[in-house]
């Protein structure tokens, strides 16, 4: 895997080589078998629908599902990783319908249910190979060969057992309720399906103010507002707020009743004829606006708590067949609930004038008819958030439908208790999004009037109505006397048997399970529990970890919690992580049509999977936030992580090969060398921090800490150790440096393994290890290396360096020009003197001096914390602020500040240093103040110029692809200023570049040439070639 002689490393090609090795050596399988007999770490892999290729949401989740098992494996646990396929339900049926050109359920029935389900079965695994290739390229390890499929008989049998268990415990009932309904798919949806993803989205609809004629006053009308005019044929009542005032106003020759609080939005100067409360209107009767009077109980005014005085007229039209509040009100007042809408969303013959018309398409005609009959007061288009089907994208309606329900409302207390035992990331989900949802859990409609799914295992007698619920294939076979070959419809419906209570025949009820019920049964159904693997399941339930995106708090997380609570009285998982949504760079949803995101496979082939992994997992999306994703973020990871670390590795390899060093594993006394000690401190601290942050699953902090270590290694340790490494020979000090570097690189590769598995493997191999890094244990770094005092010193030095560079930049003084001196206050003299040589080299300064104080450069100021003081001090805040700015305050020994007669506690203000107004050559960082001598004379300019020459010539070495140790000839062609520079600095320049010959005339056959602009003088031409004397 060495890149020697191949030019710049290509990380995607490196990853391809790693994948080949893993496949050849069966590394994943080894990682499982090597932990046989160890404690098992269980994570549930939520089954994706196999109806398309993976998107960025799948990719993000997969990366997390790879990091956790790799890490837990290194901690000594066995982590089975079994893939699963969600095979049933609307997603699959909808894709088949599109492929077959079907427009309705009638088309399926005409085609044949058996043939349709065969098409579904064939479609399900159409993309299986593509998924496998994609997930493998990501570097995620998972068992595809042993994948469970929700369409397998074993899985479905466990689903049946789960339903029967819930039924036997009293958690299942059959009934009619108002539920979300898709007229295109002709099936019920659960209340949480209507809230998945962006199911609620803006939609333009026609709203109307409709006049309902009072029965005993032909010139008087109740003015009601509706956003669903198609429900008017099902109207049976008008609702008002009992305690609100209502008025009857003059409107031409008519009289209109409406809420007094809604007058302003509809009329400019209304003439009020009557006033009363809503309660006084109750009982008044009116005539229907569509159709005939239904019966004596209908078409009257009733009171309701849900009537609002915001939009509308304060009078609500009630259709119990099409609204949850309406249905409850209908039960309260014993109102009829006519339903003139067929399953396909068309009007039935009960509304003759609109029979056969789609309810949404009929709306304009309904309004036109109302207008022509004088019953339409006003109509207007509104834009409102409206629920849509999560699969076919058609608008939903709320409709009274018979279904089988899980009594989730009765499980609320147990759900809340079980949730209290779960650790959620982000933490707020526990009591927030998920906690709120389960505290208000509604009964869950689990049957679907569809075809491709596990069957509802209920048989009903055609005579006496007796019901039997079957919980296993054996029970069905025992009752029917026939072998069950396939649990899917229509095969399962061939199993009929005699009723045990009468002479009737028992047949299965229509319908299949909601696919969310099937996926929610995954913890036990994927193991065919309780028919097989009973002990294995019971010993590993609940799972240690699950992860999905935030909306699954109302999807898979929720369904698992309901089913596990109902069946086992147990939470199904111990730790749950929710991530946010990945949006396109423009902030919009990623769209194939808009092509507003990069192809993920192309991205991995360009930059590598590790880079994509880091870009996603280090982002706020892992804290439940939405992010805007761009290719630039992935490219940036390669620069900040890969290249920097790989260059460190190659630097180590180059010089250890020159010195023929072989690591012994004996670090000697690294604590004797402060840089060695500091690097090992950072390594030990990194290992400790990763373990701490893995407890809270804070990936952003982990990747940030990894980047810090890479920077310490590259821009601090190796940079400050160059002279130590470059000197000739392999003395004890240099050997110790190499031992420390090898120890740090090899252990860092192991720490990196779960988080950047490809790069970790490549580095570990480059270091000479034959076994995979992913078969190693988590490294235990000796705690004796931890020295936070040393780390604080190094942090101060790095901050000091940053401050000096900032002052240089502010004053336009290039870093390449050496300074005569800097003076530093606010740091221990011994610390500064210990690192003076480092600082002088790093900062390009002749002398670093310590200062006892910084009084002549900086002055202390007090900064009041207004967020704490404003509310407490109130009007006195202004006087305190004025006094503090004027310096009219005292601070006592306890740190309490007194100003303008007010006492300010130590936590309510900060003391800082600020540069005195007349100075621009002073920097302040933390408590340190640094003064720079910015006077650059001719000799310093010459040094700066030769440093620039050196930098550009080093670039030529790289351009010519020369090794670190190859000697060169160079030519420097310029005028008198160049002569002057070389008189003073030729030897230094030659030593930096390994120059054999420095010429002032053109080279023959140079490998690289360039032109340099120096601070003074004419442009200088430089040339470089491999030395002819080498």
Return the C-alpha torsion angle 686, 688, 694, 697, nearest 10: -70
pLDDT band at 511 (very low <50, low <70, confident <90, very high): very high
Residue 962 has pLDDT above 90, yes or no: no
CATH class label, 938-1026: alpha beta
Q: At what angle do helices 788-810 and 674-695 cross, to 10 degrees?
A: 100
Q: Residue 594 and residue 539: Cα distance in Å, rounded?
A: 48
Q: Which CATH entry fits the domain spanning 630-786: 1.10.1050.10, 1.10.357.10, 1.10.730.10, 3.40.250.10?
A: 1.10.730.10
Check residue 193 and give its pLDDT.
64
Active site residue 846: no
pTM for the whole thing? 0.82
Check residue 4 and give its pLDDT.
33
User: Considering 83, 516, 716, 857, which one is annotated as catalytic?
Assistant: 516
Active site residue 592: yes
Q: Residue 329 and residue 302: Cα distance in Å, rounded?
A: 9
Region at 998 (left for phi over 0; alpha for psi -120 to 50; beta for the rest): beta
User: Considering 430, 574, 585, 589, which one is annotated as catalytic?
Assistant: 589
Residue 1017 has pLDDT above 80, yes or no: no
CA Rg value for the chain: 38
User: Considering 186, 552, 736, 776, which one is annotated as catalytic?
Assistant: 552
Active site residue 556: yes
Domain limits of the chain? 204-387, 630-786, 858-915, 938-1026
| Percent of the chain residues topping a pLDDT of 70 | 97
What average pLDDT does this structure show over 104-133?
A: 90
Write the burial class of residue 140 (CB in 10 Å: 0-12 exposed, 13-18 middle, 19+ buried): buried
CA distances to 165, 387, 561 from 195, in Å: 28, 7, 18
Check residue 724 and give its pLDDT.
86
CA-wise closest residue to 293 among 285, 284, 283, 302: 285
Check residue 247 and give its pLDDT.
94
CATH class label, 204-387: alpha beta
Check residue 673 and give its pLDDT.
87
Check residue 127 and give its pLDDT.
82
For all residues of the chain together, what is the average pLDDT?
Answer: 90
With a CB cutoff of 8 Å and minimum separation 6, the contacts of 164 are: 457, 469, 470, 471
Min mean pLDDT across 280-294, 302-316, 375-389, 813-827 is at 375-389
What average pLDDT does this structure show over 74-88?
A: 94
Reported as a single tens digit per residue, the pLDDT across 884-912 is 988 899 999 899 999 999 999 999 998 88
Q: Residue 85 and residue 151: Cα distance in Å, rounded?
A: 9
Check residue 55 and give its pLDDT.
86
Q: What tokens appear for 495 in the block?
A: 């199993």
What average pLDDT does this structure show over 41-58?
A: 85
Reported as a single tens digit per residue, the pLDDT across 694-743 is 999 999 999 999 999 999 999 889 988 887 888 888 898 899 999 999 99
What average pLDDT does this structure show over 568-580?
A: 94
Binding-site entries for ATP: 592
Reported as a single tens digit per residue, the pLDDT across 850-865 is 999 888 888 888 899 9
How is residue 173 annotated by DSSP? E
Element of type H or E holding 159 = helix 153-168
Check residue 291 and give its pLDDT.
81
Residue 5 has pLDDT above 70, yes or no: no
What average pLDDT does this structure show over 318-335?
A: 88
Check residue 974 and give its pLDDT.
87
Q: Residue 890 and residue 136: Cα distance in Å, rounded?
A: 67
User: Considering 47, 229, 598, 600, which one is annotated as catalytic?
Assistant: 47
What average pLDDT does this structure show over 976-994?
A: 89
Residue 755 has pLDDT above 90, yes or no: yes
Q: Residue 774 and residue 25: Cα distance in Å, rounded?
A: 12
CA-wise closest residue to 150 among 196, 83, 100, 81: 83
Active site residue 850: no
Min mean pLDDT across 736-745, 759-768, 787-796 is at 787-796
Check residue 199 and give its pLDDT.
66
User: Considering 24, 103, 483, 592, which one is annotated as catalytic?
Assistant: 592
Binding-site entries: 592
Residue 200 has pLDDT above 60, yes or no: yes
> What 3 state SS string does 63-128 have?
HHHHHHHHHHHHCCCECCCEEEEECCCHHHHHHHHHHHCCCCHHHHHHHCHHHHHHHHHHHHCCCH
What average pLDDT does this structure show over 30-36?
A: 94
Active site residue 552: yes
Min mean pLDDT across 478-482, 547-551, 1017-1021 is at 1017-1021
With a CB cutoff of 8 Å and minimum separation 6, the contacts of 188 are: 179, 180, 181, 401, 403, 445, 447, 448, 449
Helices assigned H by DSSP within 521-630: 522-525, 534-539, 556-568, 600-607, 609-617
Do 938-1026 and 630-786 have the same topology in CATH? no
Are residues 489 and 173 in contact, defined by beta-carbon separation less than 8 angstroms? Answer: no
Long-range contacts of 528-531 (CB under 8 A, 24+ apart): 528/154, 528/155, 528/157, 528/158, 529/158, 529/161, 530/158, 530/161, 531/154, 531/157, 531/158, 531/161, 531/472
The helix/strand/coil state of 329 is helix
pLDDT band at 48 (very low <50, low <70, confident <90, very high): confident
User: Considering 45, 66, 86, 969, which one is annotated as catalytic?
Assistant: 86
Q: Residue 576 and residue 564: Cα distance in Å, rounded?
A: 15
pLDDT band at 295 (very low <50, low <70, confident <90, very high): confident
Q: What tokens appear for 243 in the block?
A: 């305690």
pLDDT band at 327 (very low <50, low <70, confident <90, very high): confident
């Amino acid at each position: 895997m060495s890149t020697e002689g191949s030019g710049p490393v290509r990380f995607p090609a490196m990853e391809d080589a790693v994948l080949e090795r893993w496949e050849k050596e069966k590394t994943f399988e080894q990682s499982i078998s090597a932990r046989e007999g160890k404690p098992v770490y269980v994570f549930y892999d939520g089954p994706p629908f196999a109806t398309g290729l993976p998107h960025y949401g799948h990719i993000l989740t997969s990366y997390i599902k790879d990091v956790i098992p790799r890490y837990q494996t290194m901690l000594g646990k066995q982590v089975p990783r079994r893939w699963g396929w969600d095979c049933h339900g609307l997603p699959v049926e909808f894709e088949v319908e599109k492929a077959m050109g079907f427009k309705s359920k009638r088309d399926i029935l005409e085609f044949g249910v058996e043939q349709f389900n065969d098409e579904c079965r064939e479609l399900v695994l159409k993309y299986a190979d593509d998924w496998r290739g994609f997930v493998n390229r990501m570097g995620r390890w998972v068992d595809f060969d042993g994948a469970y499929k929700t369409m397998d008989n074993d899985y479905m049998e466990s689903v049946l057992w789960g339903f029967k268990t819930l039924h036997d415990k009293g958690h299942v009932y059959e009934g009619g309720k108002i539920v979300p309904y898709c007229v295109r798919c002709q099936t019920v949806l659960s209340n949480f399906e209507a809230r998945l993803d962006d199911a609620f989205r803006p939609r333009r609809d026609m709203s109307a103010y409709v006049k309902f004629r009072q029965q005993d006053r032909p010139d008087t009308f109740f003015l009601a507002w509706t956003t669903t005019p198609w429900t008017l044929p099902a109207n049976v009542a008008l609702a008002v707020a009992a305690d609100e005032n209502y008025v009857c106003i003059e409107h031409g020759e008519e009289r209109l009743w409406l809420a007094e609080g809604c007058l302003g939005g509809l009329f400019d100067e209304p003439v009020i004829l009557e006033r009363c409360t809503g309660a006084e209107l109750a009982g008044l009767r009116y005539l229907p606006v569509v159709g005939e009077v239904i019966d004596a109980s209908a078409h009257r005014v009733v009171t309701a708590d849900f009537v609002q005085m915001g939009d509308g007229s304060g009078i609500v039209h009630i259709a119990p067949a099409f609204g949850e509040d309406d249905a409850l009100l209908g039960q309260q007042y014993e109102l009829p609930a006519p339903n003139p809408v067929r399953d396909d969303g068309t009007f039935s013959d009960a509304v003759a004038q609109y029979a056969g018309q789609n309810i949404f398409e009929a709306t304009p005609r309904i309004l036109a008819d109302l207008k022509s009959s004088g019953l339409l007061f006003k109509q207007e288009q509104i834009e409102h958030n409206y629920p849509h089907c999560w699969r076919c994208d058609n608008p939903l309606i709320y409709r009274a439908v018979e279904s089988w329900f899980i009594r989730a409302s009765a499980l609320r207390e147990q759900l809340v208790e079980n949730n209290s035992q779960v650790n959620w990331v982000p933490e707020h989900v526990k009591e927030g999004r998920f906690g709120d949802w389960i505290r208000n859990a509604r009964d869950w409609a689990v049957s679907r009037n569809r075809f491709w799914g596990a069957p509802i295992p209920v048989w009903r007698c055609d005579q006496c109505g007796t019901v039997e619920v079957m919980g296993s294939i054996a029970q069905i076979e025992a009752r029917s006397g026939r072998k069950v070959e396939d649990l899917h419809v229509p095969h399962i419906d061939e199993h009929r048997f005699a009723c045990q209570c009468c002479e009737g025949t028992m047949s299965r009820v229509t319908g299949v399970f909601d696919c969310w019920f099937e996926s929610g049964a995954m913890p036990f159904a994927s193991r065919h529990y309780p028919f097989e693997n009973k002990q294995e399941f019971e010993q590993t339930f609940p799972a240690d970890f699950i992860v999905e995106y935030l909306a699954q708090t109302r999807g898979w997380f929720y369904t698992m919690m309901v089913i596990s609570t109902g069946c086992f009285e147990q939470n199904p998982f111990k730790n749950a992580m929710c991530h946010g949504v990945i949006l396109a760079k423009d902030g919009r949803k990623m769209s194939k049509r808009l092509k507003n995101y990069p192809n993920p496979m192309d991205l991995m082939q360009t930059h590598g999977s590790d880079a994509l992994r880091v870009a996603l997992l280090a982002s706020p999306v892992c804290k439940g936030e939405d992010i805007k994703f761009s290719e630039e973020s992935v490219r940036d990871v390669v620069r900040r992580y890969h290249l920097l670390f790989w260059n460190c590795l190659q630097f180590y390899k180059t010089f250890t090969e020159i010195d023929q060093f072989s690591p012994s594993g004996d670090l000697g006394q690294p604590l004797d060398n402060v840089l060695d000690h500091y690097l090992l401190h950072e390594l030990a601290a990194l290992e400790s921090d990763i373990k701490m942050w893995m407890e809270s699953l804070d990936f952003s902090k982990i990747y940030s800490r990894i980047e810090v270590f890479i920077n310490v290694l590259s821009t601090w340790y190796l940079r400050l150790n160059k002279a130590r490494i470059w000197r000739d020979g392999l003395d004890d000090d240099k050997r110790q440096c190499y031992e420390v570097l090898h120890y740090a690189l090899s252990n860092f590769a192991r720490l990196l393994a779960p988080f950047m598995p490809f790069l970790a493997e490549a580095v570990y191999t480059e270091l000479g290890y034959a076994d995979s890094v992913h078969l190693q244990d988590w490294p235990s770094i000796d705690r004796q290396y931890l020295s936070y005092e040393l780390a604080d010193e190094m942090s101060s030095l790095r901050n000091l360096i940053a401050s000096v560079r900032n002052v240089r930049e502010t004053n336009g003084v290039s870093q390449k020009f050496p300074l005569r001196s800097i003076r530093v206050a606010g740091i221990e003299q011994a610390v500064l003197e210990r690192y003076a040589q480092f600082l002088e080299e790093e900062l390009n300064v002749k002398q670093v001096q310590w200062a006892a104080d910084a009084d002549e450069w900086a002055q202390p100021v007090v900064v009041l914390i207004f967020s704490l003081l404003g509310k407490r001090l109130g009007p006195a805040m202004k006087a305190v602020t004025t006094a503090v700015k004027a310096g009219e305050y005292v601070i006592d020994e306890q740190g309490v500040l007194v100003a303008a007669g007010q006492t300010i506690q130590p936590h309510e203000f900060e003391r800082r240093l600020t540069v005195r107004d007349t100075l621009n050559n002073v920097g302040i960082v933390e408590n340190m103040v640094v003064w720079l001598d910015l006077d650059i004379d001719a000799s310093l300019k010459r040094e700066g110029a030769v440093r620039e020459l050196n930098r550009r010539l080093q670039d030529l070495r790289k351009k010519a692809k020369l090794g670190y140790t190859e000697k060169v000839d160079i030519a420097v062609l310029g005028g008198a200023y160049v002569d002057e520079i070389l008189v003073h600095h030729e030897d230094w320049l030659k030593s930096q570049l390994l120059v054999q010959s420095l010429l002032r005339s053109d080279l023959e056959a140079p490998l690289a040439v360039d032109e340099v602009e120096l601070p003074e003088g004419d442009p200088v031409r430089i040339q470089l070639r491999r030395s002819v004397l080498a």
